[in-house]
Amino acid sequence: MLAVFGHLNPDTDAISAAMVYARLLTRQGTEAQAYRLGEPNFETAYVLRELGLEAPPLLTELPAGSKVALVDHNESAQSLPGLSELDVTRVVDHHKLGDLTTTSTPYLRFEPVGCTGTILLALHREAGLSVDPQDAKLMLSAILSDTLHFRSPTTTPQDREAVAFLAPIAGVEDVEAYALAMFAAKSDLGDTPAETLLRMDYKVFPFGDAAQPQHWGLGVIETTNPAYVFGRQQELLTAMDQVKADDSLSGVLLSVVDILNETNRTLVLGATEAKVLREAFGVEAEGQVADLGARISRKKQIVPTLEKYFTPEA
C-alpha cells in the first residue's frame, strides 16, 4: 500500500491532492492511501464539511523503506520526519526541487502551475479517466485556495482552464462566491492559539551554503480580516520568538496577506529579520511590521528573493 501525503502544516491543496491522487492511483491499479501530516486548517475543514468528508488519517511516522508518494512538496524539511529513509516512488508537485533524491527511477511530475490540483486534473485527462463531482470539488477548492482565486501571481492559464472545467462537474455555479466562502472560513480564526496561527501555513527553508544552510521559518496568514490578526500582533511575535528558539532557526517571518486587497504586511521579529528585509527587499520595518506591498506569494515573491540574497552567486 502506497502512502500519499502532502506537506506538514497542510493547506487545502496538500490534503485534497493526497485524497485525489490516492484515488487516481488506486483506479489505475496501484493501491494507495491518503494521509495528512497535520491538522486541516479552517478553510480545508470547510471544504471537507461541504463535501461531507472526513479528513484523511494523520501520519506521524513510517518504517524505513516504506513506499510513499509526495504531493504538493518535495523538500525533507516540509515532509514526514525521516523522509530520506523512505522509498519515494512518486511526486506530483508545483514547487522548486529541493533536497530529494531517490534510489530508483521515480515517477515525477512537476509543472510550474499554481496548484497541484491543476496537474492532477491533467493526469486524469491524459489517462482518459472521468472526474467525479467529489474529486472535482477537491481539486477546484485547492486551485482557488492556492491561487487566491487567481489573485496570486502564481496563477497560470492552466489553473484558470482547470477551474472552468471543474466547476460544472463539482456543481459550483458561482465560483467567486464559493471562493469567498472558503476565504471567510479560513479567516474565522476565533480563539486559535497564536502558535497555531503561526504554524498554520508555515514552511522552513534552508538558505545559503547547501552544506551548512541557515534555516528560516516563513509563515503566511491569508485572511480577509487582517485587522483581527494585527489585533493579536504581540501574541504572534511572542510565538515567533518561541518557535525561533525551539527550532534553532536563523530567522522567522510571518506575512499577513490581505486576500481581498492583495497586500502583504509582514511581522518582523527582531534586528536580524529587519536587516534581511531591508537588504533583500529594500523595505524598512516600521515598529515590527514591514509593508511588502503586493508580494503576496511566498513561493514566487518571497523565497526566490531570499534565496538570491543568501546565495548571491546563484
In total, the chain counts a number of residues equal to 314
Binding mask 16-45 for a copy of itself (x = CB under 8 A): ------------------------------
Stretch that binds a copy of itself, among 104-112, 177-185, 252-260, 271-279 (CB under 8 A): 104-112
Q: Which is nearer to a copy of itself, 112 or 171 (CB)?
A: 112
Stretch that binds a copy of itself, among 35-43, 45-53, 91-99, 251-259 (CB under 8 A): 91-99
Q: Interface residues for a copy of itself in 178-217 (CB under 8 A)? A: 210-211
Number of neighbouring beta carbons within 10 Å of residue 96: 14
CA distances from 99 to 78, 83, 96, 179, 210 (A): 11, 10, 10, 34, 9
Of these, 98, 133, 153, 270, which contacts a copy of itself (CB under 8 A)? Answer: 98
DSSP assignment of 66-134 equals -EEEEES---GGGS-TTGGGSEEEEEEE-S---S---SS--EEEE-SSS-HHHHHHHHHHHTT----HH
Of these, 50, 111, 195, 291, which contacts a copy of itself (CB under 8 A)? Answer: 111
- Strands of 289-291's sheet in order across: 202-207, 214-223, 251-258, 263-268, 289-291
Our finding on whether 61 is near a copy of itself (CB under 8 A) is no
Q: How far is the CB of 65 from a copy of itself (least distance, A)?
A: 8
Of these, 104, 173, 227, 248, which contacts a copy of itself (CB under 8 A)? Answer: 104
Q: Which is nearer to a copy of itself, 4 or 237 (CB)?
A: 4
CA distances from 310 to 79, 114, 195, 303 (A): 23, 25, 27, 10
Binding site for a copy of itself (CB under 8 A): 64, 85, 93-113, 126, 210-211, 299, 304, 307, 313-314
